[in-house]
Structure formats: C-alpha cells, structure tokens
Amino acid sequence: MARSLILRPAAEADINALFDYVAQDSPRNAIELPRRIREKCNDLTTFPERGRLREDLGPQLRILGFERRAVIVYRVQKTEVEVLRVLYGGRDLQMLFAEE
C-alpha cells in the first residue's frame, strides 16, 4: 500500500535553496532539479524503508542519497512519508539536527 507524501516547509525551502545554488553555475541543470528531487521523494511512498535508518539524528529518521549531491531526510509514518529536509550532501547532519 502506497503512503501519501508530505513535504514539510523546511524541505520545500531546501529544494528552493538547492535550485538557487545550482543555478549560479548551471541554470540549465537547475531547471530540472526540483522535479527530480520531488520525484525521488514521491518514490518513497511506495518503498519507504529504502533509506538508511539514522536514529542518532532523531527518532525514526531515515536518510536517502540523491544523485550524490544531497540527502533526503524523512520519517515513515503509518499512512504517510514525511520529508523533513533535503540537504546538500556535505552538511554536518549531526550538528544540524542537534540544533533543531
């Protein structure tokens, strides 16, 4: 059974920030980036456990790499997949989630 997808406001802001960052050097590559990220997030509704469990970052948190550039941080609920953040892959996740 597929779950519904929830993109939290922070995740939407992260997608927009990644677009802006990539567009500085390659506007052509940036155009399709948000669609590809959302598509990858939507795939999680069918196969939500594919990401690596990272409870050291928070309860029930999972991460999934995206094109070796970013990570999708999400939580699997009973009827939904909640995408919390979409972060550049070089970020210190432990520090970031310790602050949140």
Nearest-5° Cα angle at 80, 74 to 82: 25
Q: 69 pLDDT band (50/70/90 cuts)? A: confident
- Distance CA(19)–CA(17), nearest Å, equals 5
Residue from 8, 18, 21, 28 nearest 73 by CA: 8
Q: Over pLDDT 70: what percentage of the chain?
A: 95
Per-residue pLDDT at 14 exceeds 90:
yes
What are 23-63's pLDDT values in tens digits?
998 888 889 999 999 999 999 999 999 999 999 888 999 99
Q: Which two structure tokens, joined as six digits, stand for 36?
A: 């590809």
Could you tell me the pTM of the whole model? 0.88
Question: Structural domains in the chain?
Answer: 4-99 (3.30.2310.20)
Q: Which two structure tokens, joined as six digits, stand for 43?
A: 């795939």
- Distance CA(33)–CA(25), nearest Å, equals 13
